[in-house]
Structure 1
Amino acid sequence: MRLIIVIVIVLGLGCSCKNVSSESVVSVSGRQILVNNKPYTIKGICYHPVPKGSKQRSFVTLTQDLTLMKEAGINTIRVYEPIADESVLDEIAAAGIKAIVGFGYNQDGKYDILSGTFIDYVNHYKDHDAILMWELGNEYNYHPEWFDGDIKNWYKTLNEAADAIHQHDYVHPVTTAHGDLPDKIALSMCPNIDVWGMNVYRWDNPETIFPEWEAVSEKPMYLSEAGADSYMTIEKEGHEQGVNERAQALANASILRDVFKNTNICSGVTLFSFTDGWWKAGNLDIQDPGGWAPNSSGVPYDGSPNEEYWGIVDINRNKKQTFHVVKRAYNGLK
């Protein structure tokens, strides 16, 4: 793949780019992700900003959000659906931040895998400096019912979609966000996946995933999701019931320590998530406990994923205790 990238840059073959800058060249070498031939560690955050009273993503607070991200040392955002407003991508790139852009399987024909329109997006934005990787699906291995009861149907589709991207874009890897460690079937059926993302919730200690991955693959991996919420459904392990920013901060500190101790295997993390999401469980105008996610018993410290409490900032962009944890970890501070 790196040889192909060199050919594209030097000879301009197979590329419709107006101007491919050196910052746009993302490649894979061994277990590393490279940007402009330099190792790139993802110091990231999952980003899906939804305002109070809405279920729709909005970038009205983008400038404020990017300022907070830069303070925290964030260099990468992971978005669950494509950003169709080029000015948004421009502002992200101008802030020195890269984006992992996700495509869903069925999004009613809006840049999704089922309709094939995701390739239209790839072709339009493959030269944009904001793009780090293309991501296909999010934890679909937990949902064989979406694929006629056989998850191998998804893996076949996933591999074909990755191959389609490779035919159109020579300078960005393709990843997927797999629910925890992919099994032998997933790995054998998806050779076209360049980087494996894994959503890993193993309490406050994900470090077992790294030797497990090392044993089954030589490709790069990163934690596409990890983290903790700031609400304790029950009192447990000395953490009081109710809103509890301290528990979230302690858990994220432990998780990030594990990630950055294992950079020989792990290319980083996109912590879940930037802001609280009031749209996930109950009244859109208030913050509700509750919510549900598959295979979530590993959420620290109560095993309960209160879906509206995962931000490193609250919905008004006030910094939570965990913001300072992320800032120290991502800026290499103690």
Structure 2
Amino acid sequence: MKNYIGIIIIVCSLVSCQSTSQSTIVSVNGSHIDVNNTLYTIKGICYHPVPKGSPNNRSWATLTQDLALMTEAGINTIRVYEPIDDIKVLDEIDQAGIKIIIGFGYNQGGKNDIKSGTFIDYVNKYKSHNAILMWELGNEYNYHPEWFGDDIKNWYKEMNDAAALIHSEDSNHPTTTAHGDLPDALALEMSPNIDVWGMNVYRWDNPEPIFKQWKSVSSKPMYLSETGGDSYMKITKAGYEQGENQKAQADAAKNILNKVFDNQDICSGVTLFSFTDGWWKAGNNDVQDIGGYAPNSTGIPYDGAPNEEYWGIVDIDRKKKLVFDVLKEKYSSLSKTKK
């Protein structure tokens, strides 16, 4: 009898482990995203946790703390700029009830990147994991034709071919991209295999015009893959004083999020930039520097300057900024039926 009980326990354990790794089905339903046939609204954040002093190496040392803060804020989706090749990290994110938009870069040294084709190995390895929401190809590459022989058409072809390969291997998760602002006719024509269009949109504190612009050119789902403002004012402007200014960031986020969720008939949500300040971006990685550069960044509220190391909803030590409560209030106020 003891042997039978042992076998039962082992079998049950195996079934339990398998069930935690079974993917949900993410699909496109007209202009919206469904998860298991239920409308999914992206209440998200961009996430690239680099500790003090690091040159740009992610660390998962604060993952448990970060996920607790995200859960408190009502975040249901994180967007990462490179794949997470650690099952324990993916499992912990899943256990927190959060899904991931996995980003693939074009050239990442032949590891999980588009240029080498190794991205598809990652897709096949993790396509059954419950945490996966979408596969993202590229981030604002339309701003960098110089990376593709000075002809952006080369990128659109690579992106579309990569999306087709994903479709052939994984029918349960859409393909997406993070395009710099509204894709033009060329981008749309050359990229029929992109299922959901993410757009990095910095139009001051009012992205609303892009929703009508999108509706006029496509019936596919879209979401804002990056938007928001930083907490440093390079100059005094629009009533906000020069220097560190969390109120400017909070006010901008509030206005932006209101516009996003006022347009849910078109927009599937947002991954606000960003979870934590990134001290690696602009200078000495051991201190928080003023400055930095981002392409097409004149639309940053309210000074037109990105100040790349001041974008977090929490600072590098995970202390909440004013914008954290703005995000929490907005995300938590959305219908409980919309994950």
* TM-score normalised according to structure 2 size: 0.92
Amino acid at match of 2:47: Y
- Counting only pairs closer than 5 Å after superposition, residues 273-284 of structure 1 correspond to structure 2 as 273-284=274-285
- Counting only pairs closer than 5 Å after superposition, residues 147-186 of structure 1 correspond to structure 2 as 147-186=148-187
Amino acid at match of 2:115: L
Query: Secondary structure at the residue paired with 2:333?
Result: coil
Distance 1:257 1:319 in 2: 21
Give the CA deviation at 1:21. 7.3
Partner of 2:47: 47
Q: Does 1:234 align with 2:238?
A: no
Distance 2:22 2:253 in 1: 34
Give the CA deviation at 1:20. 8.8
Partner of 1:15: none
Cα deviation code 1:18-62 (max 9, x no counterpart)? 669776110001001000100000000000000000021111100
Query: Secondary structure at the residue paired with 2:176?
Result: strand
Distance 1:201 1:75 in 2: 22
Partner of 1:190: 191
Partner of 2:89: 88
Distance 1:250 1:23 in 2: 37
Give the CA deviation at 1:303. 0.2
Distance 1:153 1:234 in 2: 40
Partner of 1:224: 225
Whether the 8 Å contact between 1:230 and 1:244 is mirrored in structure 2 is yes
Partner of 2:31: 31
Distance 1:62 1:200 in 2: 27
Aligned length: 316
Distance 2:171 2:150 in 1: 34
Distance 1:157 1:21 in 2: 30
Distance 1:91 1:20 in 2: 11
Give the CA deviation at 1:212. 0.1
Q: Which runs of 4+ in 1 moved over 3 A?
A: 18-23
Q: Does 1:138 align with 2:108?
A: no
CA-based RMSD:
1.1
Whether the 8 Å contact between 1:22 and 1:36 is mirrored in structure 2 is no
Partner of 2:13: none
Partner of 2:212: 211
Amino acid at match of 2:39: P
Unpaired runs of at least 5, structure 1: 1-17
Whether the 8 Å contact between 2:22 and 2:128 is mirrored in structure 1 is no
Whether the 8 Å contact between 1:197 and 1:224 is mirrored in structure 2 is yes
Distance 1:233 1:121 in 2: 41
Unpaired runs of at least 5, structure 2: 1-17, 335-339
